[in-house]
Structure 1
Amino acid sequence: MSAPATPALRLLLVVAVALVDRDGRVLVSQRPPGKQLAGLWEFPGGKVEPGERPEATLIRELAEEIAVTVEEPCLAPLTFASHPYDDFHLLMPLYVCRRWSGTPQPLEGQALKWVRPGALRDLAMPPADAPLIPFLVDLLGP
């Protein structure tokens, strides 16, 4: 007798980036009040729209959220997160970017902070983001 099939969770594709400054720090943003997971720190990025490539999503989201311009060749894929939430399954590629133009500004009411990779562990982050930290520490050092 086979086990009953579990209902499939909706797959949500979100893309994120670790912007790395000249001092080897990573930019994180704090989800503003009123949003799901408010108060948690995360890597900038957002939902991939239908027909949109992940790199195009990052270019669009970084301009909309933090007023920086990124060129696609400056986005290097590093790793990804795969995390089941209660009502969807998140798949989130993480890119690294060391070159952009503009100064990051919080355009959507979020707080921004530059953090050393090892110090990311001290921040309250969504469950999908935390497993990405060791990859950044391996790449950039603590």
Structure 2
Amino acid sequence: MTERLVVGGALFHRGRLLAARRSSPPELAGRWELPGGKCEPGETPEQALVRELREELGVEIEPVERIPGQWPLKPGYVFQVWTARLLSGEPRPLEDHDELRWLGPEDGDTVDWLDQDRPAVAEAVRLLRTTPV
């Protein structure tokens, strides 16, 4: 069985990381994630990330680099995360989210992240602390 790829974006802007609170499905509602979604057939992960953040947040982004590692989701799905730069737009919770929050390097553990997002968030926060973004 082939695993379906789900991409997440560690979206950086002005030294902060964007966190998105899930509004659905019910088992995930109220917890926080790096926004993104499923890769469609024929899309590269980077193309999927650009499309998903446009659909979910109404922004244009530029994928920068993949965060090492991948994490299992529900059976048949695997999660990978890319760092990304905000090019234009102000993120708004258009689909699947009810709140967005920009987190500084010291705020990474102030929201209840989904378990599969935690390793990538830890790396994203480390990057925030060490790299001007």
The TM-score bracket by the shorter chain reads 0.7 to 0.9
Q: Alignment partner for residue 100 of structure 2, among 104, 112, 134?
A: 112
What do you get for the CA RMSD once the two structures are aligned? 2.2
Displacement of 1:57 in angstroms is 0.7
Is the Cα contact below 8 Å between 1:82 and 1:89 reproduced in 2? no
Structure scoring higher RCO (CA < 8 A, sep ≥ 6) equals: 2
| Unmatched segments (≥5 aa) in structure 2 | none
Local SS of the residue matching 2:115: coil
What is the alpha-carbon distance in structure 1 between the residues aligned to residue 8 and residue 66 of structure 2? 10
Give the CA deviation at 1:64: 0.7
Structure 1 position 20 matched with structure 2 position 7: no
In the alignment, the residues of structure 1 paired with residue 77 and residue 113 of structure 2 have an alpha-carbon distance, to the nearest angstrom, of 15
Shift of 1:90: 3.9
Structure 1 residue ranges without an equivalent (≥5): 1-7
1:125 equivalent to 2:117? Answer no
Amino acid at match of 1:139: L
Moved over 6 A (4+): none
Equivalent residues of 2:9, 2:49 under 8 A apart: yes
Q: Tell me if the contact between 1:25 and 1:114 (Cα under 8 Å) persists in the aligned partners.
A: yes
TM-score by length of 1: 0.78
Distance in 2 separating the partners of 1:104 and 1:51: 26
Aligned to 1:37: 28
- TM-superposed deviation, 1:119: 1.9
> Cα–Cα, structure 1 residues 125 and 89, in superposed 2: closer, same or farther, change >3 Å?
farther
Provide Cα deviations, 1:9-61, integer angstroms capped at 9, x if missing partner: x6231101111111x11111111044441111001110111221111111111
CA 1:138–1:96: 2 relative to 1, 3 Å: same
Letter in 1 for 2:45: P
Residues 98-123 of structure 1 show CA distances to partners (whole Å, capped at 9, x for unaligned) of 23111111112521111123422232
Matching residue of 1:94 = 81
In our comparison, the structure showing a higher alpha carbon Rg is 1
Q: What is the aligned residue count?
A: 129
Q: 1:105 to 1:69 in 2, by over 3 A?
A: same
Q: Residue 42 of structure 2: SS of its match in structure 1? A: coil
